[in-house]
Chains A and B, each alone.
Chain A
Amino acid sequence: AQKVTQAQTEISVVEKEDVTLDCVYETRDTTYYLFWYKQPPSGELVFLIRRNSFDEQNEISGRYSWNFQKSTSSFNFTITASQVVDSAVYFCALSEAGNYGQNFVFGPGTRLSVLP
């Protein structure tokens, strides 16, 4: 069975601090996809990144970076120099390759509060 764990329920940081959101996943599949989504108070899930299981290169996009380590089944997300607008709930998700994107398994989410 697939499972995604986000051990941090809530995190509060002061603006300009760096923050890392942890994600640990479980799957028996050898091919799968990992995602991060942001959910602002308005409710919609905003896509941030997709990573397939064969691509362990870390990725940086502006202030965002992702560290995928297959050996520890982790896909952590770091925000550098956080801003108030980063305040939201962040979800890590897993999807089987065979049913591409059909059935996301989401973690419970981490609520990030960035204080001014």
Chain B
Amino acid sequence: GQNIDQPTEMTATEGAIVQINCTYQTSGFNGLFWYQQHAGEAPTFLSYNVLDGLEEKGRFSSFLSRSKGYSYLLLKELQMKDSASYLCAPLNYGGSQGNLIFGKGTKLSVKP
């Protein structure tokens, strides 16, 4: 089966660091995406990991462990504009077909 688990909500303080975890079970895994979605807006791409390890991109970093079915998104120096939902999306690929399976998202609230 296919299952993605991430916390529903998180709260953090401006300037702090927050880690959003995601565990997944999929077949035909071919990488994992993180998307950011502000309320009332379309999701936008943050990161893609296909190999184990940490990918750093400015204030945002994403980590993947394929053997553990685990990923996290790390946000540093939080800003108010980081208040949004963060979607974990493993890429499922098999039989020449693929699809992104999205988690229900983690709603992050950044407080002053």
A and B part of one assembly: no
Interface set of A (CB-CB < 8 Å, partner B): none
